[in-house]
């Protein structure tokens, strides 16, 4: 698939036929940064960060790949899962596990990448091979700690965005987007799950935009 610049193009369709899109913009020779505004349909405040990144002036050396939502059906209905009741953040093909059943909040689907939404993201990741991936969620208000270089990058983002570094717990973490990220990132690449709060103000959106562009320029 060809990816033009500064234009949203369709990379797949949801169960109910809604388009999943990506916009490529910035320096084509720069660090590739994939940003996903929403995986869970009722956790979509990150879409505002992506929308701002679609128009923000970008520094040299950064190329953005912007996906507003990989779960447009869930977003339309304001529910966590897709239209087949699958938690897309348990449906990725890396370390996938049979988890739950339809109606369960973490239902992983019938198999790895069984859902068209997940398939679209996997194909995009394989095509882009980003250096950095940012996944936005709500509403635990934190970034999980890391070690070494990854920990430094997470801490830098968290400091700018005003988020605490706190472990993310409370679920069964198989087939997650962050685990799959490691299969498409280069050796020094990093994937970060950003847990926003229940609401995100315009000022907070600006802080997250600054954080994303800062770590992209300072570390990649």
Distances (CA, A) of 162 to 74, 134, 157, 203: 28, 16, 8, 11
Measured between alpha carbons, how far is residue 159 from residues 36, 59, 105, 138, 156 in Å? 20, 20, 31, 18, 5
Q: How many helices (H) and strands (E) does the chain have?
A: 6, 7
Q: How does residue 207 score in pLDDT terms, banded at 50, 70 and 90?
A: very high
Q: Residue 165 corresponds to which tokens in the numbers above?
A: 């570094």
Contact 115, 109 (CB under 8 A): yes
- The pLDDT of residue 1: 75
Give the residue among 20, 112, 91, 64 at the shortest CA–CA distance from 209.
64
The whole-model pTM stands at 0.97
| 50-69: average pLDDT | 98
- Whole-number pLDDT of residue 219: 97
Side-chain-side CA neighbours of 172 within 13 Å: the count stands at 15
Whether the per-residue pLDDT at 38 is higher than 80: the answer is: yes
User: Cα separation of 29 and 105, whole Å?
Assistant: 41
Query: Does residue 2 surpass a pLDDT of 90?
Result: no
Contacts of residue 166, Cβ cutoff 8 Å, sequence gap at least 6: 140, 142, 143, 144, 145
CA gap 62, 184 in Å, rounded: 18
pLDDT over 70, % of the chain: 100
The sheet with strand 19-26 has its strands ordered as 8-13, 19-26, 62-67, 31-36, 132-138, 190-196, 142-143
Query: For 104-148, how does the pLDDT look when each residue is reduced to its tens digit (9 = 90+)?
Result: 999 999 999 999 999 999 999 999 999 999 999 999 999 999 999
Which domains are present in the chain?
13-219 (3.40.630.10)
């Amino acid at each position: 698939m060809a990816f033009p610049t500064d234009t949203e193009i369709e990379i797949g369709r949801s169960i109910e036929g809604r388009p999943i899109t990506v916009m490529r913009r910035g320096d084509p020779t720069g660090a590739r940064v994939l940003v996903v505004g929403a995986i869970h349909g009722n956790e979509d405040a990150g879409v505002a960060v992506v929308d701002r990144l679609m128009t923000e002036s970008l520094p040299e050396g950064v190329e953005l790949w912007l996906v507003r939502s990989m779960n447009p059906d869930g977003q339309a209905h304001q529910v966590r899962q897709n239209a087949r009741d699958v938690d897309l953040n348990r449906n990725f093909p890396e370390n996938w596990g049979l988890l739950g059943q339809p109606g369960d909040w973490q239902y992983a689907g019938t198999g790895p990448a069984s859902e068209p939404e997940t398939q679209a993201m996997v194909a995009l990741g394989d095509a882009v091979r980003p250096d950095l991936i940012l996944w936005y969620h709500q509403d635990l208000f934190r970034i999980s700690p890391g070690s070494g270089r990854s920990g430094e990058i997470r801490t830098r983002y968290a400091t700018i965005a005003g988020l605490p570094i706190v472990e993310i717990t409370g679920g069964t973490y198989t087939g997650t987007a962050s685990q799959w990220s490691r299969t498409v990132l280069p050796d020094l690449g990093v994937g970060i799950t950003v847990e926003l709060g229940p609401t995100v103000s315009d000022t907070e959106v600006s802080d997250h935009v600054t954080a994303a562009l800062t770590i992209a320029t300072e570390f990649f």
